[in-house]
Structure 1
Amino acid sequence: MTRTSLVTGATGDLGFAIAQRLLQDGHRLVLHARDAEKARDSVERLKPLAGGGKIVPVVADIDTAAGRAHLAAEIAKAGIHIDVLVNCAGGGGAHESWWDTSDEKWEACFRLNVMGTVGLCKAFVPAMKQRGWGRVINIASVAGSKPLAVGPEYAAAKAAVRSLTISLALECANSGVTVNSVSPGLCMTTKVEGFLEPHVKTSAHPEQSLDEFASRNIFPNLIGQLARPEDIGEMVSLLASERGARMTAQDLVVDGGYLSVTPG
């Protein structure tokens, strides 16, 4: 049976890698973006993995109830039911101190990361329960378990995502619907590469790799490497499949052991 997956934020590096992996698994893909041009570009890049009609782009703003309703309406209009919901759209942390992070930034971060996830779960999970099969996979973050002094609104939002994942898993007990989260550590995305490169060039050891510099100076871990977007795609693939049928209310952490590192 071909499953249909909705991946939100599918034009970012993590969302794209997840979409790519699910297409490789044979899923039909509803590709969500908030920018039409980025959606078209992503569809073109993914087409080699998809047969005819296997990718359906939907442009919507999930920060608002109206935007989420528009997304659900467009999917219903296309005659599609969602089997796998991947809430990947997120971010928005200001990376500022407690005192510099405005109330508006706190609220915007929670609207995207928390209410965006809550609203889409409300839109699609009841039908999954009625059909007796479904997967919800929320992309959280290690920041939710190990917050820093900066970016408190982002860490708090991701902690909320982890909490609501467990709550929804309990609500979906014995229904055939599993609910899990994946918590990446710092990932080697295009944005992170762009941040790291100038720092490595001006460091005492400009010959070192981006992984080496990041693991020593920014994101200490037990592997000496940052996670890749493809790693997150693999975790989602597992949770979305029958291989993950006996996993629910879990948080799969992909951080190279960052959460286990004791500050030295």
Structure 2
Amino acid sequence: MDYGLAGRRALVTGSSSGLGEATVRLLAAEGAAVVVHGRDEARAEAVAEAVRAGGGRADVAIGDLATDAGADAVAAAALAAGPVDILVNNAGSYRDLSWADATPGEWRDAYEVNVISAVRMIGRLVPAMRERGWGRVIQIGGGLAVQPMPGHPHYNATLAARHNLAVSLARELAGTGVTSNVVSPGAILVDAVKDFITGLAPGRGWGETWEEIEREAIARLMPNDRGRLGRPQEIAGAVLYLTSPLADYVSGATIRVDGGLIRSV
């Protein structure tokens, strides 16, 4: 199938590992030129080299999006080889803190990294999309935006802000040819999640093999209809759909890729 990505360029923030890496790999495989972003140049270059080795086109942009200077550097690097047609705001951070430990400073830092970073990139890249009459802006959100847990309240709130700004942006871009949507992952099997779960397993009697541990962790911590963790490629697939002509009529939407974790209409 032709997803219409030939001639398009995509910047995926936070794409030197995890969900972002899976996304740039898939977009590149489908014909887009991709910009791999991270703060560690060696890691970002490694992902870009892997894309090139597979026949894709990849550039690298390095910078800390929690600062204006970092966002300027990333935007300049991303635009150096041509306009950016697709912006996937994936970069973010997570700290597992209680209400008692989540100080105002922690809240401020979380918003800088998880929300304002996306606003910075929207401000630098979306006006040109509007002028060209085509573009795709996708926020990577999460189910905690609508069903928050008692823990890590600062993180829950930043996800809600991401979902909210995506809908506001969609309204702002009505009639321009640029869409704004959200992909909302559930618990996804990236290295940090696997390390966290396997660290809990011995003390909770979840078994010894990964298959046993994953099954028990899902049942105890994050029950869903599929009975497993999601894979990064499944998030990337939802992003790919939103960039394609199949999604021309999708605006201000949230696509949940969570195995049925979030129970809502």
Q: TM-score, normalised by structure 2?
A: 0.92
2:86–2:137 Cα contact (<8 Å) kept: yes
Which of 238, 243, 246 is matched with 1:243 structurally?
246
1:223, distance to aligned residue in structure 2 (A)? 1.2
Match of 2:91 among 69, 89, 92: 89
- CA separation in 2, counterparts of 1:98 and 1:189? 26
Q: Look up the match of 1:61.
A: 64
1:228 corresponds to 2:200: no
Superposed CA deviations along residues 190-231 of structure 1, whole A, max 9, x for unmatched, are 111112224334544515533311211111111101111111
Of 44, 47, 53, 1:48 maps to 53
Supply the distance in 2 between the matched residues of 1:231 and 1:26 (Cα, whole angstroms). Answer: 18
1:29 to 20, 29, 34: 34
Question: Which residue number in structure 2 is paired with residue 171 of structure 1?
Answer: 172
Identity of aligned residues (%): 34
| Per-residue deviation, 1:243 | 1.3
- Report deviation, 1:132: 0.6
The within-5 A match list for 1:199-214 is 199-206=200-207, 208-214=211-217
Aligned partners of 1:214 and 1:226 also within 8 Å:
no
Q: Distance in 1 between matches of 2:126 and 2:241?
A: 19
Q: Shift in Å at residue 252 of structure 1?
A: 0.7
- The question of whether the paired residues in 2 share the 8 Å contact of 1:94 and 1:101 is answered with no
Q: Aligned partners of 1:88, 1:204: CA distance in 2, in Å?
A: 34
SS of 1:31 mapped into structure 2 = strand
Matched, 1:5 2:6: no
CA–CA separation in structure 1 for the residues paired with 2:217 and 2:171: 38
Residues 206, 217 of structure 2: 8 Å contact kept? no
- Does structure 1 retain, via aligned residues, the 8 Å contact 2:170–2:180? yes
Question: 1:142, 1:185 within 8 Å by CA — same for their partners in 2?
Answer: yes
Q: CA RMSD in A?
A: 1.5
Q: Name structure 2 gaps, 5 residues minimum.
A: 1-5
Q: Letter of the aligned partner of 1:246 in structure 2? A: Y
What is the TM-score of this pair, normalised by structure 1?
0.93
Structure-2 separation of matches of 1:156 and 1:16: 25
SS in 1 for 2:184: strand
Report the Cα distance in structure 2 between the residues aligned to 1:75 and 1:198, rounded to whole angstroms: 38
Secondary structure at 1:209 match in 2:
helix
Paired residues of 1:96 and 1:150 also in contact (CA < 8 A): yes
CA deviations 1:107-165 (Å, max 9, x no partner) are: 11100111011111111111111111000011011111111111000110010000000
Deviation at 1:90, TM superposition (A): 0.9
Partner residue of 2:263? 260
Q: 1:188 is matched with which residue?
A: 189
Paired residues of 1:187 and 1:227 also in contact (CA < 8 A): yes
> 3-state DSSP class of the match of 1:200?
helix
Q: How many residues align?
A: 257
Task: String of CA shifts for 1:61-113, please: whole Å, max 9, x gaps.
Answer: 1001121112122233x24100000001012x321111111222111110011
Q: Matched residue of 1:56: which SS?
A: strand
Unaligned residue ranges in structure 1 (runs of 5+): none
After superposition, what is the alpha-carbon deviation per residue over 1:30-49, rounded to whole angstroms, capped at 9, x for unaligned? Answer: 11111111112212222232
Q: Is the 8 A contact 2:137 2:181 kept in 1?
A: yes
**Which amino acid in structure 1 is aligned with residue 175 of structure 2?**
N
CA 204–98 in structure 1, closer or farther in 2 if over 3 Å, else same? closer
